[in-house]
Amino acid sequence: MSESSGSDQRLAVVVLAAGQGTRMKSAHAKVLHHLGGKPLVRHVLDACAPLGAARTAVVVGHQADAVEAACDGYGASFALQREQRGTGHAVRIACEASLDGFAGDVVIVYGDVPLLETGTLQRLLRRHREQGALLSLLTTVVDDPFGYGRIVRDADGRLEAIVEERDASVAQKPIREVNPGIYCARSGFLVEALAELVPNNAQGELYLTDIVAAAVRGGGNVCTEPVDPHEVAGINSRAELARLEGILRQTIVARHMAAGVTFLDPATAYVDASVTIGADTVIGPGVHLHGRTTIGRDCTIDGNAYVTDSELADGVHLRPMVVLTEATVGRGAIIGPFAQLRPGAELHEDVHIGNFVEVKKSVIGRGTKANHLAYLGDATIGSASNIGAGTITCNYDGFAKHRTVIGDRVQIGSDSQLVAPVTIGDDAYVATGTTVRHDVEPGALAFNPRPDQRRAGWVEGFRKRQAPKKKS
């Protein structure tokens, strides 16, 4: 929907994200806490984005700059609520700062309701427009309504008012139908109703819920749309954050399993919402997949792998206890166990990286193997080469990093040090225990002459000399 559309189809979204969240006991604004790998407020913005709103306004307050940064990429404008005077005050500020002259419908959501789904908002908006309502809102039924605004209905079941917990009477407190705070209102009505709000409550705040009573008094049509309580659960504490993290994890894993991915222990899988996984991939226990990670088809990820912002092609095998960060792994590669790919690691097809091998900012060609105890940093390695155990690319001179270049079909012997900048040509051999400080031409053998030396009978004499030192 564009802003030039007909007024009955124009839409704006207001996201309330100004609060500190004191019950979180945190130095960070509540909406900046992460769930499923991203800030709470981004979950809400992601849910709203498909609505195609002409304008999106985010109300910020506590740590405004950080919250604005977290909202980058959504084309939102920002309204600063310097003084926290309630939700009605927050929406009023948004209308004044970002919705001036706007005519259409306004959807209002909270920035700490991360499981809210686009389909629910679409359903609310559709009902609002079909009914020609002044105001529409989601309602939900909970077992324990404490802390929620109660939905008060008349004898015919029509919504009459919303009463906040602190202002609810003894008769109203047991009401289990509550208001999760998600609204859709005609912009003209909303602006007028907000202007008439007064702090007539125990907290001295302007309650957004009072616009419901204003709509009822004006004889306007007020609609409600039911929603599952889990979807509109807000986060006010660390315990609630953990509970919703568990719900989200289950939802994400279930979605991947429905698409053909096997999880050997779904309860221990940690998969961000932004991760993609190809069909017939098998995920072991305790696996963490975070950020923009992409997993191909027919991959095997054994237990306790930790993968962040990485790309795995089809048929990759991650053995136990591997860590990948901003790495790219080609088809058929085998990594681990106990290996680490750091940012800039780029592995081509059929590469083998074995136990206790670390790769950083290096390109490794097809079929090359480094199976044991090596550090490969700032290197370019060709195809079909073999990197022996204990090999180190000495890339740092105390001031700058330098590159090591290794050609195709190169054999690097165990316990070798390659002092960068250095180039080793195709088909070269580096003998075991060699320190390479100069370029090696293709097909050459590089070695440091270290003749073996022996002292016959040395052990017997050594033991005799040490014997008096032993304590009785």
Average pLDDT rounded to a whole number, residues 214-218: 86
pLDDT at 470: 59
Amino acid at 273: A
352 is catalytic: no
Q: What percent of the chain has pLDDT over 90?
A: 81
pLDDT beyond 90 at 467: no
Closest CA to 311 of 290, 288, 295, 335: 295
pLDDT beyond 50 at 246: yes
pLDDT at 418: 98
Average pLDDT rounded to a whole number, residues 202-219: 84
429-449 pLDDT, tens digit each: 999 999 999 999 999 999 998
Average pLDDT rounded to a whole number, residues 239-246: 94
Token pair 């405004």: residue: 64
Q: Can you list the domains of the chain with their CATH numbers?
A: 11-226 (3.90.550.10), 238-446 (2.160.10.10)
Average pLDDT rounded to a whole number, residues 373-390: 98
pLDDT at 157: 87
Average pLDDT rounded to a whole number, residues 21-37: 92
pLDDT at 164: 83
Task: Read off the pLDDT band of 458 (50, 70, 90).
Answer: very high
pLDDT at 4: 37
Other beta carbons less than 10 A from residue 271's beta carbon: 27
363-377 pLDDT, tens digit each: 999 999 999 999 999
- Comparing 44-58, 105-119, 213-227, 383-397, the range with the smallest average pLDDT is 213-227
pLDDT at 471: 60
Average pLDDT rounded to a whole number, residues 90-107: 94
pLDDT at 1: 32
pLDDT beyond 50 at 52: yes
Residue 11 or 155, more confident = 11
Q: How far is it, in rounded angstroms, from Cα 290 to Cα 138? A: 32
Indicate which residue of 28, 34, 372, 402 is catalytic: 372
pLDDT at 177: 95
Residue 168 or 259, more confident = 259
Average pLDDT rounded to a whole number, residues 121-129: 96
The secondary structure of the chain, three-state, reads: CCCCCCCCCCEEEEEEECCCCHHHCCCCCHHHCEECCEEHHHHHHHHHHHHCCCEEEEEEECEHHHHHHHCCCCCCEEEECCCCCCHHHHHHHHHHHHCCCCCCEEEEEECCCCCCCHHHHHHHHHHHHHCCCCEEEEEEECCCCCCCEEEEECCCCCEEEEECHHHCCCCCCCCCEEECCCEEEEHHHHHHHHHCCCCCCCCCCCCCCHHHHHHHHCCCCEEEEECCCCCCCCCCCHHHHHHHHHHHHHHHHHHHHHCCCEECCHHHCEECCCCEECCCCEECCCCEEECCCEECCCCEECCCCEEECCEECCCCEECCCCEEECCEECCCCEECCCCEECCCCEECCCCEEEECCEEECCEECCCCEEEECCEEECEEECCCCEECCCCEEECECCCCECCEEECCCCEECCCCEEECCEEECCCCEECCCCEECCCECCCCEECCCCCCCCCCCHHHHHHHHHHHHCCC
pLDDT at 3: 39
CA angle (7 as vertex; 3, 12 as ends), nearest 5: 55
Average pLDDT rounded to a whole number, residues 82-103: 92
Task: Read off the pLDDT band of 2 (50, 70, 90).
Answer: very low
pTM for this predicted structure = 0.84
Average pLDDT rounded to a whole number, residues 157-177: 89
Task: Read off the pLDDT band of 8 (50, 70, 90).
Answer: low
- Comparing 134-148, 161-175, 348-362, the range with the smallest average pLDDT is 161-175
pLDDT at 339: 98
